[in-house]
Amino acid sequence: MAKQTQSFNAEIKQLLDIVIHSLYSHKEIFLRELVSNASDAIDKLKFQSLTHAALLPENWQPEIRLEPDTQARTLKIIDNGIGMTQEEVTQFIGTIARSGAKAFVQMNEEMKNKPELIGQFGVGFYSAFMVADKVTLHTQKAGTNDGTVWESNGDGTYTIDSVPRPGGTGTTITLHLKAFKEEDEVQDFTDTWTLKSLVKKYSDFIAHPIKLKNDKAEDETINSQKAIWLKSPSEVTKEEHKEFYQHLSHDWNEPLKTIHYKAEGTMEFNALMYIPAKKPFNFNMQDSAYGLSLYIKRVFIMADCKELIPTYLRFVKGLVDSADLSLNVSREILQQDRQVTQIRKNVTNKVLAALKDLLKNDRSQYENFWTEFGATLKEGIPSDGANKEKLEELTLFHSTSSDKMTTLEEYVTRMKEGQKDIYFITGDNLTQVSHSPYLEKLKEKNYEVLLLVDPVDEWVVNSMPEFKGKKLQSIMAQGLDLDSEAEKKQKEEELKQAEFTLRPVLDTMKKTLENDVKDVVLSERLTNTPACLVSASQDPSAHMQKLLSQMGREYGTPVKRIMEINPKHPVFEKMLKATPEQQTKWTEILFAQALLNEGSNIPDPVKFSQQIAELMVQAADATKH
């Protein structure tokens, strides 16, 4: 094939502009990214050779080489890994095909200030343009004789050509470095000492030898290749953990918590896991990968192994190295492997224990964790019956008690004398639920209410009917029982009288709303608001129906609810004296208000606005007489 010149797509051009104009102080991270890519390429070849031994050249030994040339101002990063086909080069370098890279471009302002985050977006190759005027990539896929040369000046175009690679399988990246000026405070990336110090800083633990010629023109391995997960936890420094975590996650922050241990007994494995301090930018994207890296006897098998950790712990980064699993494994085998199930159980217990320790001994840090990942952790309550109690104890809630979050255990210790249940309300946001009319009676009694505003909360409370013998009760559901027996007896006659007095209004309201509600009844939960809507005890809440609708999973026919009215509100005394036509209009207004109060949409906003305007005019006319 003749050499071709092609253009980057628009997003790549934007990305290159961000990278090329990045801050000087962060340019050194290009080496971390390119060495990490080289290491991944070797891991992939080793893994594929387990089932296709012919892929490995004779006497093959993994290595990454750095070849600086001070005179020519070039730096080569060479690996003998899996290599790429021309199609793969075009796919992964010439275009942006992944949502992560698109998000990188969308966040270009932040990237200009924090280019060290580049690796998080799966576009680490482009970091080469931080330091190079021109980048040449020569690669050859294992098992083929066809090499590909890709080259670009970062100017919006690139050339691609078919040329066999002299070294065969692997990849050579040649950086034609920008002019070195000490006054610019940029390191000289052809300097041997500089390269050694950067490898020590970022890539010392890479499992494959990183080689550089020393002053005697001899190959020198400049990384320790220490698998830090095989060391005793007491021997690993905080700095080593930080470097390794950043290698795994491409997160520039330090991990919030480190979990490093060796499981012994009937099943042996080493695990090294990190709980991040911050949520990654793409955490909630549907195609976002998660899982632990799997090693078997120090041989990398796969990244993002979902079989090793439950979905609700998908924020955990790390690896498991087992001596017992077979090297010849696949995802299908892992799903059925008893030992993998045991590893997953063990890993889950360790992470939950670490979170319990954080909650007990460093509450502020745990609350920071909860802000980032609490909604994810809660997913385990309905999905993991074996750890349900542990997760319930780890769950934090906003409540009406104070601005500080609370556990269920803490809530129970604050329950008032005579309080039967743990009360909660669900909604879209804290402002909405904390000012809800459903709280009126509970505020009067000084009962604390949990404020649930994460979408997952509806599923969580449905799977958690009680906590330590205390029922969890929605204050938006039918049958809210807040009064003592003595209070009920005292109010029984009042309610009978109110129902008799308001019978004409109740009958009109039931007829007007017969297509919208199941029933209209007197309420004991309202003190200031005229009306609200409640769900029957076996029906889904309005919020649950709304969430299902947003997910494209309609609940079938919308479930009608019950309208409760406050018999002490003066509007009903006025309605008794109004004409049947006025009663009908006011009923429609009260229904729309009840929908708005719970956070639901009203069926006809224009009609509602007109009705309110009419009332305002009537009220103004009444004041004139």
Taking alpha carbons only, the member of 129, 159, 156, 161 closest to residue 9 is 156
pLDDT of residue 70: 92
Closest CA to 125 of 284, 12, 5: 12
Residue limits of CATH 3.30.230.80 in the chain:
228-368
Q: Checking DSSP bridges between strand 317-322 and strand 292-296, what pairing results, if any?
A: parallel
pLDDT at 204: 82
Residues of the chain with CATH 3.40.50.11260: 397-474
For residue 104, give the amino acid letter. F
* Mode of pairing for the β-strands spanning 219-221 and 257-263: unpaired
- How many Å apart are CA 85 and CA 575, to the nearest integer? 79
Q: What is the token pair recorded at 490?
A: 């005292």
In CATH, the number for domain 4-221 is 3.30.565.10
Q: How far apart are CA 495 and CA 518, in angstroms?
A: 20
Q: Which residue has the tokens 């998908």?
A: 314
Burial code (b: 16+ CB inside 10 Å, e: under 16) for 150-164 equals bbbebeeebebeeee
CB 118 within 8 A of CB 23: no
pLDDT at 554: 58
CB neighbours of 444 closer than 8 A, spacing ≥ 6? 527
Q: What are the pLDDT digits (tens) for 287-344?
A: 778 899 888 877 677 888 999 999 999 999 999 999 888 765 666 667 667 888 899 9
Q: What pLDDT does residue 260 have?
A: 97
At residue 284, the pLDDT reads 74
Taking 50 as the pLDDT cut, the residues of the chain under it are 23-24, 96-101, 104, 111, 115-122
What is the fold, at CATH topology level, of the domain defined by 502-533+558-624?
Four Helix Bundle (Hemerythrin (Met), subunit A) (1.20.120)
Rounded to two decimals, what is the model's pTM? 0.70
Q: State the pLDDT at residue 71.
A: 93
Fold of 228-368: Ribosomal Protein S5; domain 2 (3.30.230)
Q: Helices 580-597 & 503-512, crossing angle to 10 degrees?
A: 70
Q: What is the pLDDT of residue 250?
A: 78
Half-sphere exposure (CA, 13 Å, Cβ side) for 219?
A: 8
Three-class HEC string of 510-579: HHHCCCCEEEEEECCCCCCCCEEEEECCCCCCHHHHHHHHHCCCCCCCCCCEEEEECCCCHHHHHHHHCC
Going through 390-475 in order, the beta strands assigned E by DSSP cover 398-399, 422-426, 449-452, 466-467, 470-474
Task: From 264, 315, 263, select the one nearest 292 (Cα to Cα).
Answer: 315
Kindly list the strands in the beta sheet with 257-263, ordered across the sheet, starting from the edge strand earlier in the chain. 257-263, 269-275, 317-322, 292-296, 299-305
Please choose, from the candidates 286, 285, 278, 260, the residue with its C-alpha nearest in 3D space to the C-alpha of residue 315: 278
- Integer Cα distance of 315 and 279 in angstroms: 8
User: For residue range 359-402, what is the model confidence (pLDDT) as tens digits?
Assistant: 999 999 999 999 999 999 999 999 999 999 999 999 999 999 98
What CATH number was assigned to the domain covering residues 397-474? 3.40.50.11260
- Residues in contact with 455: Cβ distance below 8 Å, sequence separation at least 6, in sequence order: 375, 547
